[in-house]
Amino acid sequence: MIELREATVVVDSPTGPVTLLEPTTLALGEHRIGVIGANGSGKSTLARLLNGLALPAAGRVLVDGLDVDSDGREVRRRVGFVFTHPDAQLVMPTPLEDVTLSLRRSVPDKAERKRRAREVLDAIGLSDRADVPVHSLSGGQKQLLALAGVLATEPEVVVADEPTTLLDLRNTRSVADRLFGLRQQLVLVTHDLDLARRCDRVLVVDAARVVFDGPADDAVAHYRALADADV
């Protein structure tokens, strides 16, 4: 369970401190939680708080009772993060080497690590691409590989920040189907309202606040009304 208690994100800027997230209190227990809202509203900031990529300036963020501030390493082990751009995550020349690298902490034996990496690639549908150059993969395959690298570490929660934004319809479907097929809790930041509708609970973020929190259809209606009010 992830809990935010009056968590606030503030950054310094040349003109003084800027609040990226107003004090926010949430308990995130549902299997699939969507986060929607306009560009620049604070969705990524909220997502990054959940695994300590952003730290609260005030308030607390707890993952299974562990504080992101003081137990950052353990929190990051429990909460995996998938970025919009898979290239931000893929550092090795081939998929097999990349997933093997993700396993370096959890699997000490080298041969066993490779075997497990092949299993992970197989499970995500990339076993036939295991040894090709990463740069030759399609955008969808790269995003699946980034997800495989995260899943290899066996997190309890997967936070994905607009993981399908760069993908075409077919790749969006395949990445989304993997994400929604996970046994792990999923927190999905997305501009794709069809994906948001598949979530059990959806947060709408606007101007650095969570302005709606509830069932997906109601959240999408709320977001549409906000957009209409802006025109």
Ligand X SMILES: Nc1ncnc2c1ncn2[C@@H]1O[C@H](COP(=O)(O)OP(=O)(O)OP(=O)(O)O)[C@@H](O)[C@H]1O
Binding interface with ligand X (CB under 6 A) = 11, 13, 18, 20, 37, 39-45
Nearer Cβ to ligand X (45/100): 45
Nearer Cβ to ligand X (99/219): 219
> Shortest Cβ distance from residue 190 to ligand X (Å)?
9
> Shortest Cβ distance from residue 18 to ligand X (Å)?
5
Nearer Cβ to ligand X (18/91): 18
Nearer Cβ to ligand X (26/66): 26
> Shortest Cβ distance from residue 24 to ligand X (Å)?
12
> Shortest Cβ distance from residue 172 to ligand X (Å)?
16
Residue 68 CB neighbour total at 10 angstroms: 25
> Shortest Cβ distance from residue 54 to ligand X (Å)?
8
- Identify which of 123, 192, 184, 119 has the alpha carbon closest to the alpha carbon of residue 156: 184
Nearer Cβ to ligand X (120/176): 176
> Shortest Cβ distance from residue 13 to ligand X (Å)?
5
Nearer Cβ to ligand X (18/123): 18
119-128 contacts: CB < 8 A, separation 24 or more?
120/148, 120/151, 120/152, 121/95, 121/96, 121/145, 121/148, 123/148, 123/151, 124/148, 124/151, 124/178, 125/174, 126/95
b/e code 7-33 from CB counts within 10 Å (16+ = b): bbbeeeeeeeeebbbebbebebeeebb
- Identify which of 78, 62, 68 has the alpha carbon closest to the alpha carbon of residue 159: 78
CB 149 within 8 A of CB 100: no
